[in-house]
Chain A
């Protein structure tokens, strides 16, 4: 399993190749479309992270100290970023997730997607992913 840092570095390299925002957003949209949908049984209110604009469902399972995330969103842009976060964090150890520095989102120019005004559930999703990890890490 690649380390969180390595995966982030690869994502940064991918994004470096894009010439304009359109290519970048099209890539995100494709990631969103390709992300396997979460099992319907996990689309519960309990797993729902409410944003004012788009909703995110997050499910976590532990597998001998590692955490497997699956997630979904009703908006495709949000789902694209969700896919990136899963790529980086899913399957990693609880300890690594709890201490992960997810600065790649800023570096690939998607900071505004995480601003509070977007109210798209992403910020709460990252927080929730870390909370799972911290709980298991203890």
Chain B
């Protein structure tokens, strides 16, 4: 039996006050709060286990290495990958995308095409622009419908044998749209294109299976999954990752180094130059275990209930417009109130102890598409409650009254 009050006990920060009120944390799309077990694992690592990984012959190095590699196994199971070495540890989703985009500079040639979409986060736009600048490949963009869905028919017309890569988000951080990525992947593969999915907003909300999706590359961040900051994952099919040249040079990523010729290590080490965020990777396992133990059907049930309730309640407030009304939506509500700037809403809600995000959410093309300066965004997580939504709605009404 799922009890949200028991879940809340596991997140120490949820007990604190902000501006004299109990914190209501609705900025989970930006970063989730951290589990006590994650905090304890980080702390215990530095107290009891600290040492560099994959290097020493001594006891602590072996211990740290085992724990570090244990997380890799846990993630492989969590996302249904075929091999452990298909899991690359990075700093986060942005880093994962940059790793791939940098590599594709060398794999693409003039006239090749990359397809992205209008609803991408800047981190799934700018790396590809940089990639195109270097490789002289061309960037194509799938347009957005008014409800926040992508125009699949337009996507089909963009696909051709020139398409080498399709990079899409699984869930839009601004609009909450859950893209039908399986369909995009199948269609892309028919023209021989590889597919990268930005799963930053998806990995803590829905089950993932890389082999079922048949996706070539998939990226996500630990800090949006109740885990530590500074840890991310790039999943890639073995043969795809083998074709991508190394991103950064340094220790650990080499086989042999001489001034005449250096050869690179095998996967995953080829892409993990330098000392990684060892404590973060080890603690990430605690976050994955929390999500796995809870199970995605429980998570989806609770979060969908909150989304439905919050949507219904916010629409009762006169002048509210929600951006992103796809039938398949994750727990994200982007909204504006007629005649009011989202920044003003954010500032006043903050004074009432409520953390939401305001602005363009690093998705300026979406804001331009809807001709708005930004939105106020509520993004939900497993520890949020119906009561918190009630408090937020009352606070929005109060803010609206002050601003009108």
Contacts and interface: CB of A to CB of B under 8 A. Distances in A.
A25 to B, nearest CB: 7
Nearest to B398: A22
A120 interface: yes
Contact of B403 (A76, A119, A120): A76
A78 interface: yes
A119 B403 CA distance: 20
A126 interface: no
B52 to A, nearest CB: 34
Interface of A is mostly: helix
B341 A75 contact: yes
Interface string B335-359: 0000011111011100100000011
A74 B341 contact: yes
B343 A53 contact: yes
Contacts of A21: 19, 351
Interface residues of B, number: 17
Interface string A114-136: 00001110000000000000000
Interface string B314-346: 000000000000000000000000001111101
Contacts of A26: 402
Interface in A56-91: 74-78
- Size range of the chain A interface in the assembly: 10 to 19
Contact of A52 (B19, B344, B351, B360): B360
B374 interface: yes
Contacts of A22: 351, 402
Considering the complex of A and B, which 5 residue pairs feature the smallest CB-CB distances, nearest first?
Answer: A75-B341, A75-B343, A54-B343, A53-B343, A53-B359
Given A53-B346, A77-B344, 4 more contacts: A54-B341, A54-B343, A74-B341, A120-B343
27 contacts: A21-B19, A22-B351, A22-B402, A25-B348, A29-B402, A52-B359, A52-B360, A53-B342, A53-B346, A53-B358, A53-B359, A53-B374, A54-B341, A74-B341, A74-B373, A75-B341, A75-B343, A76-B340, A76-B341, A77-B343, A77-B344, A77-B347, A77-B348, A113-B347, A118-B347, A119-B359, A120-B343
